[in-house]
Structure 1
């Protein structure tokens, strides 16, 4: 009996001591709880899309997906910048405050950068937590200059002939309709295909012939192209009269509402003893007589329907005005000695 009394007293003393310990040091048990793991952030993915495109600038929409794990990440900030690949100069910067990120999840952050519409850019994404950089990602964008401005977008383009290998047909074809020994008339046809979903109006095409070595414009014509339905191909034509026995680069320039939207080139070999390619620059292969390319006085190129031309009385080469000047010079020279 005495033994049991002693055990009961000891147990009571232990309980009283435990209660006193909890009352005196309430934080002792709480301190035994483990701390949460640190916040872990990383750039999981970067995607870049083209936004508004103007004649001089391009807007790049950068979407960064941040991956988070561990405890709460506080004061998270994302900085994105575009760095020119050629100069290493920072072209644009944008900072976005994300705030607190909790749980295991991904957080999307979208930021827009406006850069010059030329060259290549390195897009860098930097992630900060409480002012300290904790993650980063990099992606390169090339060919920004090739992005088409909004005002120049049209579904009409010069047709691409497929299935002809390396010698595929150019989108400009020509035939010789007339030749009198000193000049030749070329019927130049361009192939335009509407690859879009809507019909295009207000299209205009300029067709010109440049002498291959000198790039002198021998003749040019402007044509208005009618409406082209989606999936259809139009073939506007123009007649160009040029001096014979020269080689030419034929060029077609397409405009939509007075905005240049496309060009195409082909070659016309009227001097069979020489060759010419679209890529070649002047090499002096033709013996050039510049008088063959003298423009007539008061010559005006205007828009007209296919098959019609605006001409003067003279043809390529020395015109009536130049001949009159020659006669006048001879008369004045003779008068000096009378």
Structure 2
């Protein structure tokens, strides 16, 4: 056997042995690195944003991100959160969470937070770093923070909002020609799951035409059970023959919790409605100036009508009944003379 034939026979023998080894031990030709030894990787699966501590001007946004890990352990992992104004594009707050080493090939929740102002919307940018290298990122938009109730004003008790049962009910307890004693009942409901803490009820009686506070009253609202409605009654003495707005407010340690309004119509010739006196509008300079001009024109028209009728204004408190009595007396004298 020559040398070439011997080398060919050796090569065939090696090939034959390799084939037999591959069949007998299939893992022998596999990547020597196991699944856990593959290069590590982390990426963001999900992000959850929830309100934290809500203050008067600012609010805390709690951020929870789910990190999914694959491969070998990843060291020096950090998560950075940035809150950027949606309209201004300016950085409002930035926080960094030191995660450390991530391994195990599973998901892990990392919690963080940023503080923002309650006015406006924000873009929350979250970036995951490993050894200073950016590995994953995600952006979440948040708005409507002004609707969150500050913790100091958070209460489960508020005025009842019923379709038939009145929130504010006014009745006359005593009356004479000069004054009237009113009994004002206000309904409050506990919409929470636990009994409420005591609150303070304040009631103002405002004369409709002059907006002057004619009387006020204060009463303590005791603990209200969950889902229950209580009625609190106060009394107030006011001048008779006028119409009044009844303003009710619930206070907790000098913090306004809720407010409502009713009316007391004691003037039989003219009535008022609470729905007509309360209107929520967005302030605008153009609207304000236009309303002022129209109001002036209306006043001029009313003044001209009053001058044509004799120049008497019945809306001035105290003069309406006197003028009416004089008119009745004059009419009686004229009728008697004609007879």
What range is the shorter-chain TM-score in? Answer: 0.5 to 0.7
Residue 227 of structure 1, aligned match among 214, 218, 223: 223
Any conservation in 2 of the 1:127–1:135 contact (CA below 8 Å)? yes
* Cα distance in 2 for residues equivalent to 1:264 and 1:84: 35
Corresponding residue for residue 20 of structure 2: none
Distance 1:140 1:15, change over 3 A: same
Work out the CA distance in 1 between the residues paired with 2:83 and 2:218: 42
Structure 1 partner of 2:109 = 108
Aligned partners of 2:44 and 2:136 also within 8 Å: no
TM-score, structure 1 as length reference: 0.62
Deviation at 1:75, TM superposition (A): 4.7
- Deviation of residue 237 (structure 1)? 0.9
- What is the aligned counterpart of 1:242 among 225, 238, 243? 238
CA deviation vs aligned residue, 1:23-67 (integer Å, no higher than 9, x gap): xxxxxxx9x989x98876554322222223344443221112234
Q: Give the C-alpha shift of residue 238 in structure 1.
A: 1.2
What is the aligned partner in structure 2 of residue 132 from structure 1? 134
CA–CA distance in structure 1, aligned partners of residues 141 and 6 of structure 2: 75
1:82 and 1:288, CA in 2 relative to 1: closer, same or farther beyond 3 A?
A: farther
Q: Decide which structure has greater helix share.
A: 2
Q: Find the aligned partners of 2:232 and 2:209 in 1 and give their Cα distance.
A: 27
Q: CA deviation at 1:217?
A: 1.8
Shift of 1:117: 4.4
Please state how far the C-alpha of 1:173 moved relative to its aligned partner. Answer: 1.7
- 1:98 and 2:94 are equivalent in the alignment: no
Query: SS at 2:60's partner residue?
Result: strand
CA-based RMSD = 4.2
What displacement does 1:195 show? Answer: 3.1
Unaligned runs of 5+ in 2: 15-28, 281-290, 303-312, 320-339
Name stretches of at least 5 consecutive residues in structure 1 with no aligned partner.
Answer: 17-29, 293-338
Give the TM-score normalised by the residue count of structure 2: 0.62
Count of paired positions: 270
Cross-structure match for 1:195 = 191
Q: Return closer, same or farther for 1:241/1:89 CA change in 2, 3 Å cut-off.
A: farther
In the alignment, the residues of structure 1 paired with residue 168 and residue 47 of structure 2 have an alpha-carbon distance, to the nearest angstrom, of: 42
Q: 1:116 to 1:135 in 2, by over 3 A?
A: closer
CA distance in 2, matches of 1:119, 1:288: 45
Residues 127 and 134 in structure 2, CA contact (< 8 A), matched pair in contact too: no
Q: CA deviation at 1:223?
A: 1.0
Q: Which string of whole-angstrom CA distances, capped at 9 and with x for unpartnered residues, describes residues 183-203 of structure 1? A: 443211111223334434442
1:289 aligned onto 2:289: no
